[in-house]
Structure 1
Amino acid sequence: MLQTISNWRRRSRYHDVVRVCLPLVASMSATTVMEFTDRAFLANYSLEAISAAAPAGITAFLFMAFFGGVGSYVGVFIAQYSGSGAHRQIGRVLWQGLYFTLFSGLIFWLLSLFAAEPLFRLAGHSPEVQALERIYFDILCRGAVLHVAVATLSTFFAGRGMTRPVMLSTLLGMAVNIPLDYALIFGRWGLPEMGIAGAAVATVCAWAISFLLLSLLIFTPEHDRRFAVLSNRAFSGEIFSRLMRYGVPGSLQFSIDILAFTFFLLLVGRIGTIELAATNIVMSINALAFMPSMGVSQGISVLVGQALGARQPQQARAAVWSGIHLLLVYIAVVDLLFILFPRAILSPFLATGSDPAAAGAVLATAMPILRIVSAYLFFDALYMVFSGVLRGAGDTRFIMVSIGLASVLCLILPVSAGILAFDMGIIGAWLCVLIFVFALFLLSAGRYRHGRWQQMLVIKESAR
């Protein structure tokens, strides 16, 4: 028995998973804390503001997730280059991501000019909510190039398994964002009262701070000697095309997921303002609870990429199951809190000075949704780990196709038909979300078990 335990501990990679994933979890959680405080402040500012923040924010993030996802896929290349020992290629692939970032800035500027009004008019929310949605979306889009740049620059450290600088840059952004959020939303410390616009401005300022810190840490003479981050700036059509080949499908995984939830939010708004406010609050809480899963997923992608680059798939498998074990312990704790103490978790979003009847209605609607989310989190955590494996190997087309089909068949179509044709209530809509996430878990787990990912590399041609 002791020998068996000793062998199991030797084969496991808990230390590596914690070392790589924990700073990413902290970074993701810090990002979500910024969003959480955004929503908490806005919930205490006005019902219209919190009702507008989630649809506008998730719509803007839909575009940011795509472009940021392509930029962050540079990390898979860096992980595999690092594992294979081709360190001088790291600077070159990083610059290909930065060139893509500049292109994304142009697209975001066009979105801010032409997309806001038709997008939110289509949603059919009240005129007051639509006006606030347009403001929030416009400001976020104008600063979104900084978000993509941070995602791309972070890969220089994360792809090599050095995730603490990523955490530090995010924490610094959070330290700027939270007090600035409060000051600009409510008009404190001599700053103007800007409401929902202030929340967006504070978010963009946080991105700028993180971008500045990462730039200072990366572009140094020492890093240029080791990784050619300054001397290898030339555009490479071969590497850029490979980044697009693998990064675009990989990014569409998250973009399609967010698109499905964007449709879900817009449709829930047709049920009623109370249901929309309750859904926005629960989704904000869910985002805070979910981000550790996202951090572990990114960390697993790095560890899998490094192991495959070094031709050691057994190390990748060990990292996967070590990550699952650690993540499920966290999910169990969160689920117990959601099930046993829903009122305490929801209370920060319900202002004591607001209309008591409206606050009570939102609370009564949100409590059963929060219990559904406890089941959602379990399957979503497993899906995120398995999809992280596939992403780290380069099996991104499968992820894109599978999530696209599941989004349409398990979420968009049933919720659309249920709300628009059959008067589906908010609980029925959220049960469709649970079915959707369960389908994603089954698809990703099946692909992982098939094992094809163990023979894949995104750098196979260009690294030789």
Structure 2
Amino acid sequence: MSSLLSGIAPTADRRRRILVLALPIVGGMASQNVLNLVDTAMVGTLGDEALAAVGLGGISNFLLTSFVLGLSAGVQATAARRVGQGRDSETALPLNGGLVIALSVAIPWSVALWFMVPSLFPLLVDDPAVYEQGIPYLQARLLAMVAMGMNFCFRGYWNATDRSALYMKTLVVMHVTNVFLNCILIYGPGPYPTPTFFGVPFDLLGPWVGPVVDLFGIPRLGAEGAGLASASATWAGAITYIYLGFRHARSGGFLRALPSRETILGMVRLSLPNSIQTAFYAGGMVAFYVLTGMVGTRELAAANVIINLLLVGVLPGIGFGFAGMSLVGQALGRGEPEDAMRWGWDVAKMAGMVVFLIAIPGMIAPHFILGFFLHDPETLRVAELPLRMVSFFLAFDAMGMVFLNCLLGAGATRSVMVISVTLQWFFFLPLVALVGPVLKWGLVAIYGANILYRAIQTGLFATIWKRGQWAEIEV
């Protein structure tokens, strides 16, 4: 298998196959992060405290929903194997099982958390101006936990069955809904802020949203409005997915029957390590925000903007990873492990090239880019060098995300979990605590620690992929 590494670039037919599957996913993930930037830009006009509250609330929501989101890996890996095995009438049965599990877990969990948030959020940050805005924001986001779980199950199914374009179309519905509701719910009847939104004065929003605001008497909700808009958009996506499921997945068994007990247990076996890994990753991100907040609110606001900008660059790489997950799973379903190995390397090479191009603006003009989101000169100065640093590293990180997802597609969820959790919690976070709150070396040192941690993780995932032992895993 090591001989497969000799090719510098994928062949033309393999590039086409990767792009046909990956581009809709990449487009969807890119648009999803443009949406995050829209939220960040609009909330950023409310001040550093609101920006910090939304950043901490958003990553906390990711943590609290992580066990539900992990179902996507089980649905995608199982459905992709069924495609490779030619069992087309059974491809949607893993989706049915994932939806049942998501509903069973998310409904009671989200209700309990909604009541717990006012007590838990102040434990994350000691600035009252931050947690007073963060509590209603997070409560609003939790209203969509059930919809998030459903959406991730559908995403895994569409990707596994080579219909990722449906995923992208649904994200467009969600984005349009979110932007429109953001304009209405964040500012209400006004006043609108004086900064511009990507060059467009905010006060031009008035004639567009004013009639809706007047009709329903909507007040100015600020950060809480951003949370309600995101939750509503998530539910719009879930409803769209259900409609598309009836149109495109009925022949695969969508809502016709549940999978067998063995299939459900197999999905749980695949999903549980990924859910645990996702939970620990999200928990680590919450800890990262908390540690950064201990350095200062300005640093926390800057870190939130940097992370959202980085997601625009690296998540297209993760989109390639989702494509690789399906290609690997289908190849293994056909009994072709060497082809699965090649798909991993080919997708990683293409992801690295694409993300490098996306990251160029962050390398050469970080001040210009940050100026759209940060309006305090000192906060802008704090964020500039860290953004430049991570932009140079982003392509390598994207390749690591491809190998991570390809390993998930092969069923190696336990190995991914052990490496991810160990590196993040026993190396990265202690290092951040040392260079941040203890030594006070600032945001540059914190992001230097992040680059080192991600580089080690990418190297380990690539090594495991090269060894090829994942090809022996039964799904």
TM-score higher than 0.5: yes
Inter-CA distance 7–274: structure 2 relative to 1 (3 Å threshold): closer
Contact 1:78 1:90 in 2 (8 A): yes
Matched with 1:440 is 457
Contact 1:410 1:432 in 2 (8 A): no
- Correspondence 1:209 to 2:211: no
For residue 57 of structure 2, what is the amino acid of its counterpart? A
3-state SS, counterpart of residue 371 of structure 2: helix
Query: Any idea what the Cα deviations from partners look like across 1:319-357, whole Å, max 9, x if unmatched?
Result: 223222222222222332112111111111134xxxxxx
Cα separation, 2, equivalents of 1:241 and 1:444:
26
Alignment of 1:286-301 (within 5 A): 286-301=310-325
Query: Any idea what the Cα deviations from partners look like across 1:404-425, whole Å, max 9, x if unmatched?
Result: 1101232111222333433342
Unpaired runs of 5+ residues, structure 2, are 1-5, 189-208
Cα separation, 1, equivalents of 2:412 and 2:52:
37
- Correspondence 1:218 to 2:245: yes
Q: Give the C-alpha shift of residue 180 in structure 1.
A: 1.4
Cα separation, 2, equivalents of 1:90 and 1:146:
21
3-state SS, counterpart of residue 287 of structure 1: helix
Between 1:133-142 and 1:151-160, the stretch displaced more is 151-160
Unpaired runs of 5+ residues, structure 1, are 352-358, 459-464
Q: Give the C-alpha shift of residue 209 in structure 1.
A: 1.4
Alignment TM-score, normalising by the size of structure 2: 0.89
For residue 105 of structure 1, what is the amino acid of its counterpart? I
Cα separation, 2, equivalents of 1:199 and 1:236:
41
- Correspondence 1:227 to 2:229: no
Q: Give the C-alpha shift of residue 10 in structure 1.
A: 5.0
Instruction: Give the alignment's Cα RMSD to 1 decimal.
Output: 2.1
Query: Any idea what the Cα deviations from partners look like across 1:213-237, whole Å, max 9, x if unmatched?
Result: 11112124x743x32223213x643
Contact 1:410 1:436 in 2 (8 A): yes
Query: Any idea what the Cα deviations from partners look like across 1:9-61, whole Å, max 9, x if unmatched?
Result: 65861111101111111111222122111111000122221111111100111
Query: Any idea what the Cα deviations from partners look like across 1:122-142, whole Å, max 9, x if unmatched?
Result: 223311111111111111112
Alignment TM-score, normalising by the size of structure 1: 0.91
For residue 426 of structure 2, what is the amino acid of its counterpart? L
Between 1:91-100 and 1:320-329, the stretch displaced more is 320-329
- Correspondence 1:42 to 2:43: yes
Contact 1:278 1:362 in 2 (8 A): yes
Matched with 1:454 is 471
Contact 2:96 2:255 in 1 (8 A): no
Inter-CA distance 133–30: structure 2 relative to 1 (3 Å threshold): same
Cα separation, 2, equivalents of 1:33 and 1:66:
25
Alignment of 1:139-288 (within 5 A): 139-187=140-188, 188-189=209-210, 190=213, 191-220=218-247, 223-224=249-250, 226-233=251-258, 236-288=260-312
Cα separation, 2, equivalents of 1:243 and 1:93:
7
Identity of matched residues, % = 25
Contact 2:349 2:399 in 1 (8 A): no
Inter-CA distance 9–390: structure 2 relative to 1 (3 Å threshold): closer
Inter-CA distance 119–19: structure 2 relative to 1 (3 Å threshold): same
Q: Give the C-alpha shift of residue 72 in structure 1.
A: 4.5
Contact 2:363 2:389 in 1 (8 A): no
Contact 1:294 1:384 in 2 (8 A): yes
Query: Any idea what the Cα deviations from partners look like across 1:90-128, whole Å, max 9, x if unmatched?
Result: 2322111011111222212211111x2343222233111
